Amino acid sequence: MRIAILSDTHGLLRPEVKEMLKTADVILHGGDINKPAIVEELRRYAPVHVVRGNNDKEWAADIPHDLTLTLDGVTFYMVHNKKELPADLSGVDVVVFGHSHKYVHQERDGRLWLNPGSCGPRRFHQEITMMMAEAENGQIRVEKITIPHEVP
């Protein structure tokens, strides 16, 4: 199963991101979507699992704060801000979060911690990044996708 993992789109789906989404079986979005049109557009590519970010206001009232789901034997826990994680992450293989716009891919405490960074408007002088992952039979492999941008 091919999984697109993105966060902090802040109202922008870049053409390069859309090209990656065409290859996805499912999309995980870590919040700060900023407008419902982005969720609608994502749904045109693949089933979408999304959590609400701190910039997702009234329109996002029905989007969950956090979400747990299992894809091809890999259990994900999603939340926008990792400071809002529950104390007990038993049974979780991968934590997906956003908020900082900083790319994170690390294994800690037997669990994979993933922040795809931001693939929306460039902010805080960060790279523009997302992730593509392959999940199969309880195993996951993650690839960093860096989207070229002009440096001012």
Task: Return the percentage of the chain with pLDDT > 70, whole number.
Answer: 97
Amino acid letter for position 54: N
CA 3 to each of CA 23, 27, 71: distance values in angstroms, whole numbers, following the listed order: 9, 6, 9
Residues 93-143 have pLDDT tens digits of 999 999 999 999 999 988 999 999 999 888 767 889 999 999 999 999 999
Looking up tokens 């309880």 gives 138
Q: Is residue 121 part of a domain?
A: yes
Mean pLDDT of the chain: 94
pLDDT tens across 14-71, in order? 999 999 999 999 999 999 999 999 999 999 999 999 999 999 999 999 999 999 999 9
Number of domains in the chain: 1
Query: Can you give the residue range of the structural domain that contains 18?
Result: 2-146
Whether the Cβ atoms of residue 5 and residue 114 lie closer than 8 Å to each other = yes
Whichever domain contains 11, its CATH number is 3.60.21.10
Res 126: pLDDT: 81
| First vs last C-alpha separation in the chain | 37
Of 107, 70, 106, nearest to 91 by C-alpha is: 70
Q: Is residue 151 situated within a structural domain?
A: no
- Is residue 115 situated within a structural domain? yes
